[in-house]
Amino acid sequence: MHTVAPAAPAAATVLLSTSGTTVDDVIAVARGNARIELTAEAVTALAASREIVDALAAKPEPVYGVSTGFGALASRHISHELRAQLQRNIVRSHAAGMGPRVEREVVRALMFLRLKTVASGHTGVRPSVAQTMADVLNAGITPVVHEYGSLGCSGDLAPLSHCALTLMGEGEAEGPDGVVRPAGELLAEAGIVPVELKEKEGLALLNGTDGMLGMLIMAIADLKRLYTSADITAALSLEALLGTEKVLAPELHVIRPHPGQGASADNMLRVLEGSGLTGHHQDDAPRVQDAYSVRCAPQVAGAGRDTIAYAQTVAERELAASVDNPVVLPDGRVESNGNFHGAPVAYVLDFLAIAAADLGSIAERRTDRLLDKNRSHGLPAFLADDAGVDSGLMIAQYTQAALVSEMKRLANPASVDSIPSSAMQEDHVSMGWSAARKLRTTIDNLARIVAVEMYAATRAIELREGLGLTAAPASLAAIKAVRAAGVQGPGPDRFLAPDLAAADAFVRSGGLVAAVEPVTGALA
């Protein structure tokens, strides 16, 4: 699995205070290796909440998370001499992940977002522990976190536990050179002293929705780029099929005022401006209307855009949240709560997987139409140079169809699949981590699907141009950039995988959007 977007430019510093953080800051830390500094306000709030926890720890009455066990074991009161061991034990026992390593950017987002909540002053963690979290990130040390272990409630327990284990100087982590080594060695080389956890701190480092939230934030950024790219490829396909751009007229979309639909229609219309190919839908055989995959492209992509907008609203609310249990309140109370439940994030992760699968499905249908000589209105079968001798893009569409099929399976929601745990204390969980993991695969597949449509549509337009029809200036700019990126044009059959890989890389990097925007202006 790899990310859609290129690494973000490194920001000089991200300042972390008590009031949460931003989408841009998360991406800067996760993908751009931005440094983190705690503000004086955060340090003051950390110290104040720690005083409250220390005072409660000194009392004889048991307080959950401070002087008791956890989960189904919360009824046991823990004596003073065993509390440090309790905090170490919860980290060690909960670091029970299995399977492949999770991507570096996901782990960095996970750690940064946990630090965000710690810095809010609602967790009771000491300032020194928060500073160590920042130091580990700034040193480029990335804990080894595994694919499986989180049920999304109480938050992303196993992934966060592997991160906390690194803070203790235990377990394994990846160094700034990309080599996995014992975490203690990496901390020592960076001059970082391992933390010795005190009351509540082990629990506070584990109890959050940070992994699923980090993946949601990066997914939103990637999907925004892919949806713009998909609008461009839809326009290229419409043009190559000699369709009509009249269905994109703004007055038709104003009367069904979904914002995303209007934005997608406007993107397509701007790409097609000045085309000599559109409007020929009556030339070879009467076509009163274009097929749904062409005519309804803005409606489908627009619905996905609106889903992304809702998902961003949820992400921004979560970024402003302090997710822990128990929490330290401003009046000095330490209260248990259920804010660690991942349902709000899990739902939108599943929504996005559904929307992305449908976008991939409609893009594949346009590709198939471009390759079918009975429906492409004059294009050669499979866009082949010499159909029969050459197979053209026949199997590229097979690959695209396989990707769409997988996306449909991945669209099955994870958030409805609760499995009880912790002796029925945690009897309803969100599965938000699983929703996030499958969404990352879905986004990878969507990028490949858009790349195949781009490959087919640009080849089809070049074949049309060979017959004396002139494409839109934006389309010509896209074709020029695609060819410069190493994606070859029409001709006899050749080894196709390298072309498809180059097309995929071009779409992922934002190259398609960058190619047309000098002509169209900034697209939504």
Which residues have a catalytic role annotated? 64
The rounded radius of gyration (Å) of the Cα atoms in the chain is 26
Rounded Cα–Cα distance for residues 338 and 341 (Å): 6
Cα–Cα separations (whole angstroms), residue 151 to 105, 133, 420: 20, 24, 9
Rounded Cα–Cα distance for residues 265 and 505 (Å): 25
Give 158's contacts (C-beta < 8 A, 6+ positions apart).
Answer: 94, 95, 96, 97, 146, 148, 149, 150
Cα dihedral 451, 455, 460, 465, rounded to 10, equals 110
Among residues 88, 327, 298, which one has the least CA distance to residue 204?
Answer: 327
**Helix (H/G/I), strand (E/B), else coil: 366:** helix
Cα atoms found within 13 Å of the Cα of residue 303, Cβ hemisphere only: 13
8 Å CB contact between 261 and 253: yes
Rounded Cα–Cα distance for residues 254 and 427 (Å): 47
Q: What is the DSSP letter of 322?
A: -
- b/e per residue, 460-481, with b = 16+ CB within 10 A? bbbbbbeeebebbbbbbbbbeb
Would you call 175 exposed, middle or buried from its count of C-beta atoms within 10 A (0-12, 13-18, 19+)?
middle
